[in-house]
Amino acid sequence: MFFLRRRRVFIGECDGQAVYYDQQTGEALAAPKSFLLNTEGARKTNAYIPEMVIFFMAGGPGLFGFFSAMSIGVYNWTSLTYILLFWLAEFLLLIAILERGLYKNVRKAQPTTEKIFHYAASHNLMIGEENFDPAKCSATIFRIVRWIMVAMNLYSIYVIYHYIQSFGQPIELNQDFWGMGLIWFTIILMYNQNNPIRLVKIMKLYSQGKVRFKEEAES
């Protein structure tokens, strides 16, 4: 379950494999990557994610919630319920897509070499340093993520409170309406699926020689 503490943590990809770190055994692992996983091309494709979400929601509860809310036209308890359903569908779909992309074959993961682990870590989108040095990965910036997550939670509460205070007024299709599911998704992404603070801690273990690797095959 992705809401529980994750044992195997995604590090990156290398040569058609998704690379992980097992927090219980301290091993570096690799498994065949999902076709959804492409960190090398992610910067070019991330812009299309919102359109993908809207497309995939077209036949599901998200669309039902959207049109049900629009048919009511004003904020009230019923329309708010439908809006929450719309946000929940958006959130769950994004979680499912990323979970399948990062962890589809994680149970098939086998011990891998330091060379593969190093490449995957150095090409992780949250690190992306040309002169990669795991000992110098700082958690300072990533700790800011915690405060961002807190701010996102507070903002979510504020938006719902604002909607309640707006009962009787027409529903507005603004950025809050379209983006709340994305905010919830980002919170879970940073907390569990690709936690930057956890990644920094693993890099510190790596720099200290505490990650176990499969021995390189002699040529």
* Tens-digit pLDDT profile for residues 168-197: 999 988 888 888 988 988 888 887 777 777
Q: Which residue has the higher pLDDT, 145 or 17?
A: 17
For residue range 14-34, what is the model confidence (pLDDT) as tens digits?
888 999 999 999 999 999 987
Give domain limits for the chain: 9-207
Q: What percent of the chain clears pLDDT 90, i.e. is strictly above it?
A: 30
Residue 112 predicted with pLDDT over 80: yes
Q: What percent of the chain clears pLDDT 70, i.e. is strictly above it?
A: 78
pLDDT at 18: 92
Range of 2-16, 76-90, 190-204 with top mean pLDDT = 76-90
Range of 15-24, 47-56, 93-102, 144-153 with top mean pLDDT = 15-24
Q: Which tokens is 208 given?
A: 């200290």
- State the Cα–Cα distance between residues 140 and 197, nearest whole angstrom: 9
Residue 105 predicted with pLDDT over 70: yes
Residue 43 predicted with pLDDT over 50: no
Residue 214 predicted with pLDDT over 50: yes
**Residue 69: band (very low, low, confident or very high) from pLDDT cuts 50, 70, 90:** confident
Q: Which tokens is 198 given?
A: 């956890």
Alpha helix positions (H), 166-214: 175-188, 196-207
- State the Cα–Cα distance between residues 83 and 30, nearest whole angstrom: 40
DSSP summary character for residue 124: -
Per-residue CA distances from 211 to 24, 44, 104, 127 (Å) = 11, 32, 23, 18
State residue 27 phi and psi, 5-degree precision. -95, 150
Q: Are 38 and 45 within 8 A, CB to CB?
A: yes
Q: Are 89 and 181 within 8 A, CB to CB?
A: yes
Q: What angle do CA 91, 10, 5 make, to 5 degrees?
A: 70
- State the Cα–Cα distance between residues 164 and 1, nearest whole angstrom: 33
Q: Which tokens is 15 given?
A: 């040569």
Residue 138 predicted with pLDDT over 70: no
- State the Cα–Cα distance between residues 8 and 146, nearest whole angstrom: 21
Q: Are 47 and 56 within 8 A, CB to CB?
A: no
Q: Which residue has the higher pLDDT, 64 or 116?
A: 116
Nearest CA to 177 out of 85, 59, 76, 87 is that of 87
